[in-house]
A = this chain, B = another copy of it.
Amino acid sequence: MTVAVVNMGIEEQARAHQDNLTKPRGALGRLEDVACWFAARQGKKLPDRLNPHIAVFAGDHGVCEEGVSAFPSVVTGEMVKNFARGGAAINVLARQCGASLSVVDVGVISDLSGVDGVQQRKVRSGTANLLSGAAMTRDECAAAVAVGREEAKAAIAAGANLLIAGDMGIGNTTASACIICRLAGAAPEAVVGFGTGVDDAGRSLKVDVVARALQRIAEQANDLVLQEVGGLEIAAMAGFYLQAAESGVPVVIDGFIASAAALAARQIEPLACDWMLASHISHENGHALALRALGLSALIDFEMRLGEGSGAALVVPLLQSAIALHKEMATFESAGISGEVEA
């Protein structure tokens, strides 16, 4: 694949434009950086308003049989139905930020074939237990990645210029912790968190499961991490990010699961990170560490740990404001305002 090239010349032009706006230089802080980041990626000194699309990928996890989650696997399918009816957090946040939303079953155990509003792209009904063997085969993993790629392509074709991937999958903090530990080079104790709400004993169990899974794949290449200990929805998210980078469309990375998928995408194509913007620092342990490994810096810390793309959707209005300020503010010249004097 070929990742689209970021236009650094346009970024410089955007910076120069920022310095002419009616404010002290740099006074808008990270909003200035965000506006210039989009300018460089849209290839326009004055970037277009964002037209976001959110794709939520859902899949189940065989590792749940180890008791790693506070909720049973059946909740994955129930939550997908909740997405389809518009009652979940991501539905509300999509409405708030004017994003279109698609819900993709890439591997839920429950049969969702009759559910309106859910794309039927099931690769298999849940992964195998990553503790005892590969979570999926090479072909299944590739098929899930392809689902994510196709979803990104379709959204871009429909006019989206900002992409967000969300996740739903009971057990997926365990799979994500395995990926983050391995691809960011970190210990389970530093990465494993409380997920949907296990207690201290539940977390200790998760740490042990992750440690043993990592031991199982210790001799395998990094390229196999996604299929060995990943998830179908995580693979789809990685594909989504890869396609976005190839098509030259920015993505906003959500929390813990999304960052695991981003690391998996980076493993396939290191330059994919050029098109990623981090939204928030999840309250889930190890997320900050994953972002550092990706070279990304989160915009906000709201102590969220929901997934679904919620943190990424939440920050979209901040991104819109950054672009609107960049485009709509008067310049010192146009406003007839006296320039800076020597202090």
Contact = CB atoms under 8 A, between A and B. Distances in A.
A325 B93 contact: yes
Nearest to A284: B27
A309 B115 CA distance: 46
Interface in A1-53: 21-31
B338 A74 contact: yes
A158 interface: no
A46 to B, nearest CB: 13
B341 A70 contact: yes
Interface string A190-206: 00000111110110000
Given A75-B338, A201-B343, A324 B28 contact: no
Nearest to A306: B27
A330 interface: yes
B336 A304 contact: no
Contacts of A320: 96
A279 B167 CA distance: 29
Given A95-B324, A196-B24, A330 B88 contact: yes
Nearest to A339: B71
A97 B88 CA distance: 23
B321 A70 contact: no
A197 B27 CA distance: 9
A75 B310 CA distance: 42
Interface of A: 21-31, 67, 69-72, 74-75, 78-79, 81-82, 85, 87-89, 91-93, 95-97, 195-199, 201-202, 283, 299-300, 302-306, 310, 314, 317-318, 320-321, 324-325, 328-330, 334-338, 340-341, 343
23 contacts: A22-B82, A22-B87, A25-B197, A26-B197, A27-B197, A28-B304, A28-B306, A29-B305, A31-B302, A74-B338, A75-B337, A78-B335, A78-B336, A78-B338, A82-B337, A87-B334, A87-B335, A92-B329, A93-B325, A96-B320, A96-B321, A197-B340, A314-B321
Given A25-B197, A79-B337, A302-B318, 12 more contacts: A22-B88, A24-B71, A28-B304, A72-B338, A75-B337, A88-B329, A88-B330, A89-B325, A96-B321, A197-B340, A314-B321, A317-B317
